[in-house]
Structure 1
Amino acid sequence: MAFQQGLSGLNSASRNLDVIGHNIANANTVGMKTSRAEFAELYASSVNAAGGSNKGIGVTVATVSQLFTQGNITVTGNDLDLAINGNGFFEVTQPNGTLAYTRAGMFKLDPDGNIINQQGGQLMGYPTDAAGNRLSFDSQPLTLPTGAPIPARQTGNIMAEFNLDARAPIASSVTPPTPITTYGTSIVAYDPQGMEVPVGLAFSKTANNTWEVYTSVNGGAPTAFVPPLELNFNADGSIDPASITPLPTITLASPNDPAVTFPVTLDLRNASQFGTSFAIHNLDQDGYYPGEFVSLTIDETGVVTGSYSNGETRAAGQVALVNFRNTQGLSPSSGGNWTATFASGEPVRGEPGSGNFGGIRAGALEDSNVDLTGELVNMMTAQRAYQANAQTIKTQDQVLSTLLNMR
């Protein structure tokens, strides 16, 4: 019987050394989780035998479990290196179409703008609007428009925040009259094709606390609104909302085809009239010309934002994180991936940084959680166990040899 016990010990110790060797070999593998051989004793019992008569017949490796503890996070500076600080797994669609889950966040862009890992698996994410607000938890491959520029956007609104000098005389009361262009500014709007349309704004004081607005397009002379648009100011210098309700609109024409016109709302609600010099505090519009992809950033909530050559930024989605009720039920596979099984349960989806899901750290990677010093000690212990079981077999052989040599 000692032969069988020793042989089971040798097999188990050898299996343990295999597990320890695998851990040591992957001490520098990003996202790797250390494994541990868990042993169980074996007993033989006869039918209807009392519990005390059971005889031990050796040991077996009951399972090889993985320890999903947090690894150290190392800063790399690469924008597409991602680390999860806390619970969760990245979800990737492998080239064969199956889903896999990983903690290894070494991603890159392919020629089509897909975010992929080293095995070609596509990083999955949640759809968002351009501002980065999540639309649903239906995961889909994250893609950036790297191959073609983002289309132009037609200007629909011009916002101007400025102060008109309350000390200015009424334009017609001085000789010569104050030129219309004395108090003015300009901004560039964009037509549907992204072509520039210069727009000028000018203001002429027509009465105390009253200014008339003029506009010009494409370098033309300032012209008055029809009927005239007058800004009326209150005694405290704030604008009278009634004078700009509803908000006025101007009609712009495309430089490419003057027949193509489009309306633009003029937002002057932040205008003021104080006894200080004329000044433009803010001037903005919501159009832009086409832009090429330049770079991307990923924040702690996993929102992927692309930056473009026209100065615009646009969210391309949010990195999806998943978790499992039983992570020990996941089946490990090559490339630092795990696959879901019946034991692990279905993936539970969430967004980074919410609930029990960890946050995303861009420009960093999660190191292996292998304790190299501990593994070397475990290896020596396993080696001693192997030697001890071999000695058991050797001793049993000597006993049998003694019996066989009896006269």
Structure 2
Amino acid sequence: MGLFGASVSGMDAFQTMMNVIGNNVANVNTTGYKTSQVNFADILSQTLANGSSGSTAGIGGTNPQQVGLGVKIAEITPNFSQGSLTQTGNSNDLAIDGNGLFAVSPDANPTSPNQIFYTRAGNFHVDNNGNLVTADGDYVLGTSSAPTPGGSTSMPTWTAINTEVSGQPAQFTIGPDGTVTVSGGSTSYYIPIVGFPNYSGLQKMGSNLYTAPASNSAGTPSYGQAGTGNFGAIQAGYLESSNVDLSQELTNMMIANTGYGANSKVISTQNQMLQTLLQNV
């Protein structure tokens, strides 16, 4: 019966892999999307006999006898490799060329890390109040003072980026270092880049957003000036494309399909063996 259990776990694992691949393919045109990867791990083996060391009489030792009990999903992690940058001509569109993420929030002045989300999708726009927001209406977060070059682990004082002057819409530009200059050349805001020791430890929330709960493995965030240290530069008028490689995903799909079918065949063969045994009893 152990053979059934191992093969069922294999079918479950490859089905999960297929689901992840399907989601990657579905998001091939999603701005800033990061493909997910599935990693397998074997389930603790059943030990039939322990190994032993050699005796002093010159008799050699024996190796342990262990039977595997199947496979499990070890992790499903986002792959934060750089996606290609596509020029849009829209100055509200921002892309990060390098490491890091934008900070966004449903609150205009968040004071807790739990109120903040992170994204690579820079398809922003200005709302009817003059604030720079995401496609879902979350505020793009900035600061009123220049971020630390190279980064700092101290969370800055966040604020929404308002592009109006005296309550009226105004022209603005965003530089590679995240400096937001509104109308007559006055610097109003800065957009820091947020970095993590382990980007794959971030938790997906949908809508191109990630969170970094204190209990996860992303590590302590650092906040820095774009284009300094390990922080990528900001490219205005560009969007980062999905990093999904369709040819690789289709190859992975064939691997998952083959693995699922092979495990199904093992179950079918084991069932035939049991039927033969019962017929001969």
CA distance in 2, matches of 1:370, 1:52: 43
TM-score by length of 1: 0.60
2:3 alignment counterpart:
2
Note the alpha carbon deviations across 1:55-106, whole angstroms, 9 max, x for none: 1111111110111100000000111100000011101113596100110001
CA distance in 2, matches of 1:318, 1:297: 11
2:54 alignment counterpart:
none
Higher helix share: 2
Contact kept, 8 Å, 1:17 with 1:379, in 2: the verdict is yes
**Pairwise CA distance, 1:373:** 1.1
Asked whether 1:148 is paired with 2:166, we answer: yes
2:151 alignment counterpart:
none
Instruction: Indicate which of 183, 187, 192 corresponds to 1:315.
Output: 187
Contact kept, 8 Å, 1:112 with 1:147, in 2: the verdict is no
CA distance in 2, matches of 1:345, 1:396: 46
Instruction: Indicate which of 160, 168, 177 corresponds to 1:301.
Output: 177
1:119 alignment counterpart:
136
Aligned partner letter, 2:200: Q
Note the alpha carbon deviations across 1:348-395, whole angstroms, 9 max, x for none: 010101111010000000001000111011101110111111000000
CA distance in 1, matches of 2:257, 2:163: 55
Q: CA RMSD in A?
A: 2.0
Larger radius of gyration: 1
CA distance in 1, matches of 2:97, 2:157: 21
2:266 alignment counterpart:
392
Contact kept, 8 Å, 1:351 with 1:357, in 2: the verdict is yes
Percentage identity across paired residues of the two chains: 38
Note the alpha carbon deviations across 1:145-184, whole angstroms, 9 max, x for none: 52735xxxxxxxxxxxxxxxxxxxxxxxxxxxxxxxxxxx
**Pairwise CA distance, 1:138:** 2.2
**Pairwise CA distance, 1:399:** 0.3
CA distance in 1, matches of 2:235, 2:226: 10
Contact kept, 8 Å, 1:83 with 1:104, in 2: the verdict is yes
**Pairwise CA distance, 1:39:** 0.3
Contact kept, 8 Å, 2:49 with 2:65, in 1: the verdict is no
Aligned partner letter, 1:90: F
- Residues 10-159 of structure 1: pairs in structure 2 closer than 5 A: 10-46=11-47, 49-50=50-51, 52-95=64-107, 98-128=115-145, 134=146, 138-146=156-164, 148=166
Aligned partner letter, 1:127: S
**Pairwise CA distance, 1:401:** 0.5
**Pairwise CA distance, 1:46:** 4.1
Would the alpha carbon gap of residues 368 and 139 (structure 1) be closer, same or farther in structure 2, given more than 3 Å must change?
Answer: farther
Contact kept, 8 Å, 1:31 with 1:366, in 2: the verdict is yes
Would the alpha carbon gap of residues 399 and 120 (structure 1) be closer, same or farther in structure 2, given more than 3 Å must change?
Answer: same
CA distance in 2, matches of 1:326, 1:135: 21
Would the alpha carbon gap of residues 300 and 348 (structure 1) be closer, same or farther in structure 2, given more than 3 Å must change?
Answer: same
Would the alpha carbon gap of residues 355 and 135 (structure 1) be closer, same or farther in structure 2, given more than 3 Å must change?
Answer: closer
Aligned residues: 256
Would the alpha carbon gap of residues 71 and 139 (structure 1) be closer, same or farther in structure 2, given more than 3 Å must change?
Answer: farther
Q: Tell me, which stretches of 5 or more residues in structure 2 are unaligned? A: 52-62, 149-154
Compare 99-108 and 339-348 and name the one that shifted more. 339-348
TM-score by length of 2: 0.86
SS of structure 1 residue aligned to 2:24: helix
**Pairwise CA distance, 1:123:** 1.0
Q: Tell me, which stretches of 5 or more residues in structure 1 are unaligned? A: 129-133, 150-291
Would the alpha carbon gap of residues 331 and 135 (structure 1) be closer, same or farther in structure 2, given more than 3 Å must change?
Answer: closer
Contact kept, 8 Å, 1:75 with 1:365, in 2: the verdict is yes
SS of structure 1 residue aligned to 2:275: helix
Contact kept, 8 Å, 2:116 with 2:211, in 1: the verdict is yes
- Residues 196-215 of structure 1: pairs in structure 2 closer than 5 A: none
1:248 alignment counterpart:
none
